[in-house]
Structure 1
Amino acid sequence: MTPRHGSGEVQRSPDASMTLINEFYRRPLDPGYADAAARRAAGSEPRRTRRSTVGLVALAIGLGLGATAATLALRQPTTSVQEARELLESQIAQRSEEADATQADITAMTEQIATLQEDLLGDEGRPVSDQIDEVAVEAAVMPVTGRGLRLVLTDAPSDDPDVVDPMSRVQDVDLQIVVNGLWAAGAEAIAVNGQRLSAMTAIRSAGDAVLVDLVPLASPYTVEVVGDATHMQTELARAAAGQHLATLRTTFGIGVQLSSQSKLELPGTGLVTMYSARVPVTSADPVPEPGPAEGALDEGDVAGSAGPTGRDGT
């Protein structure tokens, strides 16, 4: 670089900005490697002996074995961790078997109670038996079979499986709105992914999972409804639940498939323990006798999670 005549400015060389690239093209090989190549070409480079070759091979084998052993040690869990995992797995399997056995006992006892009721009432008590069956169906205790609707809600597809938008997933509030809309449209019985809904059912969320009576469910969510399919479709389209389904499909890309079914089989929940709400008493007040169950949710009112839902207009 040379200064301009009559000024203090510095004039750049035309290729000053290309110095690094020019050096790379002029001398592509590092000076140290160039010197070693020159010595090797001149024959002044010391020859490699057999001992050095054997040592180099042994060193490479030792490094390879060490790296392999370290990799296996990192991948293989320690003995204590493995034992704890096996213990947990055995406990889970044992508890699952106990739960299945208990559920089988409950089913057998429920059938036995129904048989004893029929024997006790006989033909004279047929009206009472029919009334009991009707109430049992409304309470979701007994399984039902009949015509109805099947509604399938599916999470919206995602371009990146690692990044999931919560608004593109079916949320607990969506199922709450749909279920309450179906009850209002005249549904006689409803089940979500095989879980029968009753007046005590709660639909909530836990992380990414939707819980129906503490049972985690995942997409797709199949809502099966027993009742007059034509009447329910008409009433659902007129109600806010139908508008909500349209918003899920058009705005959030959630799959909504509604179809009529000639035969649906919905399971029962079995016997349900009812609890009554009472006013707390003081020591001066008499203790009231336990009464019939009060304060339970009406059929069609599904308990939901509190707080904002994130859906516009819901």
Structure 2
Amino acid sequence: MSLPPSYLPAGGPDPDGAAAGKRTYGPDFLTALFQNPLDPGYSDAAARRATEGRRTGWRRGLAGGSSALTLVVIGFLLVVAYRQTVAEEPARTKARDSLIAQVQNRREGTERLRAQADRLGDEVAALRERALGGAAIAELKDLEAATGMAPVRGSGARIRLVDGPTSVDAVTGERRTDGLVKDTDLQLAANALWEAGAEAIMINGQRLTATSRIRQAGEAILVDIRPVASPYELTAIGPDELAEDFRAGYAGPYFETLQGRYGISFEAAEVKDVTLEAATEFKLRSAAPSIAPAPSGSASSSGPGSPAPGSSTEGGR
């Protein structure tokens, strides 16, 4: 079996075994590349030119003709590519202008439909007032405000929660999410506000209704399938002492513990003269009154957005 050249002793094979055990290893590829960056072909060409001299006669003419032909072909291809690009430009411009016109037309159509919907809504409200009378209309408006179908205005409290700093586990290298506000934290805050007497609650612009859900999707929190992000603001309309009752109840110590342990920012303050917009895309498909008495000892939900049964009361930490 023959050895590779890099394993042969210096000076070639040693039949007598005098150099047994003394191996010389050839340089690796990068070392050889840096030591001899010039391709051997250039050296051969330079040596041949030194021996034969420069090309003359038909050989020189053939080389020059090949170079000229190559330049002509490249120029022809560039001209063809340029003409093709120029020829296609009007079509691209026309397609772009057509798309812009379609977007503008759809936008104008949407504005017209929105104005028509507002006008029809005003007509329906006027007809309803004439048909039902003042007392029925007042009761209906109260029900719409309570269910979230109409905007409400008043004073109450604003609860502000901000994500704390995140860290990386020194052992596993994973990012720790203990300092992030979770869906169960927002559920607990909303339920505490309902229990303290809140009449309407909005989370980052999303009005809570009887069908609202606060759920976690990865690290994102969804309120009625709409994402909300830190800082989280729960604005509630209710009694004047709503913020004080929230801090004094079970939610205040809970969030103070999260603030001290995980760095989550927590604030509860009174607000005056705020407006909570109506819920968007509120669709109640069916409803029936529940006349069955609740089982004794069972805990009932305090309001919309309550956590599912069995969910953790410690924010999932």
Residues 60, 211 of structure 1: CA spacing in aligned structure 2 closer, same or farther, 3 A cutoff?
same
Kindly indicate whether residue 245 of structure 2 is the aligned counterpart of residue 267 of structure 1: no
Q: Which residue of 2 aligns with 1:54?
A: 68
Aligned to 1:145: 153
Amino acid at match of 1:144: V
TM-score (norm 1): 0.59
The answer on whether the counterparts of 1:170 and 1:254 sit within 8 Å (CA) in structure 2 is yes
| Counterpart Cα distance in 2 of 1:226 and 1:6 | 99
Q: Are 1:141 and 1:268, in contact at CA under 8 Å, matched by a contact in 2? A: yes
For 1:1-314, list aligned pairs within 5 A: 1=9, 10-13=21-24, 16=25, 18=27, 23-24=32-33, 27-40=36-49, 43-45=53-55, 47=60, 50-61=64-75, 96-97=110-111, 100-101=114-115, 103-105=117-119, 107-109=121-123, 111-112=125-126, 115-116=129-130, 120-121=133-134, 133-153=141-161, 167=177, 172-204=183-215, 210-214=221-225, 216-220=226-230, 221-228=232-239, 230-236=241-247, 238-240=249-251, 243=254, 247=258, 251=262, 258-269=268-279, 293-295=288-290, 300-302=303-305, 313=316
Q: Hey, what's the Cα distance between the residues in 2 that align with 1:209 and 1:105?
A: 37
Give aligned pairs, total: 282
What is the one-letter code of the residue matched to 1:60? Answer: I
Structure 1, 176-185 or 38-47: larger mean CA deviation = 38-47
Alpha-carbon contact 1:148-1:228 (below 8 Å) kept: yes
Percent identical among aligned pairs is 26
Give distance in 2, aligned partners of 1:103 and 1:37.
Answer: 86
Q: Which has the larger radius of gyration?
A: 2
Note the residue ranges of structure 1 that are not aligned, 5 or more in a row: 160-164, 278-292
| Cα root mean square deviation, aligned | 5.7
1:55 counterpart SS class: helix
CA shift digits 1:78-125 (9 cap, x unpaired) = 9xx99xx8999699758855763565256414642664378x24xxx5
Long gaps (5+) in structure 2: 1-8, 168-174, 292-299
With over 3 angstroms needed to count, the CA separation of the structure-2 counterparts of 1:308 and 1:202, relative to structure 1, is: closer
Distance apart, 1:149 and its partner CA:
2.8
